[in-house]
Amino acid sequence: MKSIVAIFVSIFTITTGFAQTFQATIQPLPASGAGVTVSVKTPATVTGKVSSLTITIAIPVSVGTKPVIGVDNSADPYISYDVYNAINQTFDGAEHYIYNVLGTGDVVPAGASKVFTGGTDVPLAVISFSGGAPGITSQIKMANLPDGGTDPNPNSYFGFSIDGADVVNLSAMFYGINLISTATNDGLGYSGTSFARTIPLVPLPISFLSFNALKKADNAQLDWSVQNESALTDRYEIERSFTGSDFKKIGTVAPLNNGNSNNSYVSTDYHLSSLNSSGKIYYRIKQVDRDGKFAYTEIRSVRLDGKTFDVSVYPNPLVSATKLYVDLADAAQVKIKLIDATGKVIQTEVFDGVKGLNPHPLNTGKLIAGTYMVQVEAGSQTKTVPVVKNN
């Protein structure tokens, strides 16, 4: 809006007895993740009928599929709402889906009056989301966009009027316990960008519940299950190694995008004999988010000849923590000795190993930088591997 409009609104507000002191915020529904509550607050108690309410909701396009939103007006049934999808816009460094929620009040006479107690959050509406990612609530912003946005009929702003008077605090539209941005708002209200994020409920990082590698005929069947999967999950990369340390990507699996946070996957690596005639092949799964963050499974292996006893350490060299991987043809008691550069045994451990690959954490946190030897004994077999500790 132009300055002359803002001045007219200010004069109109003064004549009706209302000061422009109302601010708005959004907060996630408790223990829900499926919606937000829109509330307003003003310093001094005000009583009046809501004439109109314009709410602009913005969600980063990076969440994936555009959610469908709905509005529950039970907090103030005298306001009726319509929802319009606006043109996507870029702000806060990212492209956003934009929704205009337009509310109209004064639908009944005396019953529509509402008391806005000073200094208190007063809920006006609950906005729900469907068809999007689990945890999407933590990505939502309430926004005021320059000149109402780029639509032919611009409504992408925050507007609120009581008894026909605009009561929005034009220089500080939003409040909240996380981030409030009015950096480019010029104080006239509707010409700059302002926004308030929800509480930073960062979506839980994805975690692997299980990962298994099983040799079937001349193939390796890989299956894994995850929790906290969302539309932020971009892909799963299958990695293979012949040494247990130098992994290379051999395939990609897309997430199911079925709306469930817990999912299971199966993939097959075919014709193993064409890769190696004996020994083992190691596998791990790398999960990658849209923002580039990633997580790994533990390492699993399949045995080609069925008779190899093998020991490896990964990561190696290490900084703070590492794991010993002991591959057994049969279940056996495993004895571990950690030996320093002088030949002194500085740690000993014993555990009951099972047939197949046994990941076992090494207690390396207090070691000084240097080279050590890990000696592993299982039954009548013994192997020793070097491990390097860096600062």
Same domain? For 371 and 297 the reply is no
Domain end residue (candidates: 248, 279, 305): 305
Percent of the chain with pLDDT over 90: 29
Same domain? For 39 and 146 the reply is yes
Q: Give buried/exposed letters for 55-65 (b at 16+ CB in 10 A, else e).
A: bbbbbbebbbe
When divided into structural domains, the chain yields a total of 3
238, 249 contact by CB (below 8 A): yes
Angle value at C-alpha 113, between 18 and 173, nearest 5 degrees = 45
> Are 316 and 285 found together in one domain?
no
Give the DSSP H or E segment for 226: strand 219-227
Q: Which pLDDT belongs to residue 347?
A: 93
Compute the distance between CA of residue 378 and CA of residue 309 in angstroms, rounded to an integer: 9
- 172, 197, 222 — which closes off a domain? 197
Please check whether residues 323 and 291 belong to one and the same domain.
no
- What confidence tens digit (pLDDT) does each residue in 40-50 have? 999 999 998 89
Whether the per-residue pLDDT at 145 is higher than 80: the answer is: yes
Task: Map tokens 């009706």 to a residue.
Answer: 16
Q: Around Cβ 386, how many Cβ atoms within 10 Å?
A: 12
Same domain, 273 and 382: no
Domain check: are 278 and 320 in the same one?
Answer: no
Q: What is the DSSP letter of 342?
A: T
217 plus 330 within the same structural domain: no
Taking only the tens place, the pLDDT of each residue in 337-369 is 999 999 999 999 999 998 877 889 998 888 899
Task: Answer whether residue 232 shows pLDDT above 80.
Answer: no
Q: Do 80 and 179 share a domain, yes or no?
A: yes
Say how far residue 139 (Cα) sits from the centre of its chain: 8
- The CATH number of residue 31's host domain is 2.60.40
37-46: burial string, b at 16+ Cβ within 10 Å, e else: bbbbbbeeeb
Together in a domain, 21 and 152: yes
Same domain, 187 and 42: yes
List the structure tokens of 51.
């004439």
Residues 298 and 313 in one domain: no
The CA distance from 307 to 84, in Å, is 66
Report residue 342 as tokens.
Answer: 């002088």
Please tell me the predicted confidence (pLDDT) of residue 334.
95
Mark whether 60 and 167 lie in a shared domain: yes
* Tokens linked to 256: 């199911």
Domain that includes residue 36, residue range:
3-197
What is the pLDDT, as a whole number, of residue 338?
A: 94
CATH number for the domain spanning 253: value is 2.60.40.10
Assigned token pair, 135: 């945890």
Of the pLDDT bands very low, low, confident and very high (cuts 50, 70, 90), residue 12 is very low
Instruction: Look at the block and give the residue holding tokens 């064409």.
Output: 274
Integer Cα distance of 304 and 377 in angstroms? 22
Q: CA-to-CA distance for 252 and 267, rounded, in angstroms? A: 9
> Domain with 317 in it: what CATH number?
2.60.40.2550
Q: Which amino acid is at 314?
A: Y
The last residue of a domain, from among 280, 305, 330: 305
To the question of pTM greater than 0.85 for the whole model, the response is no
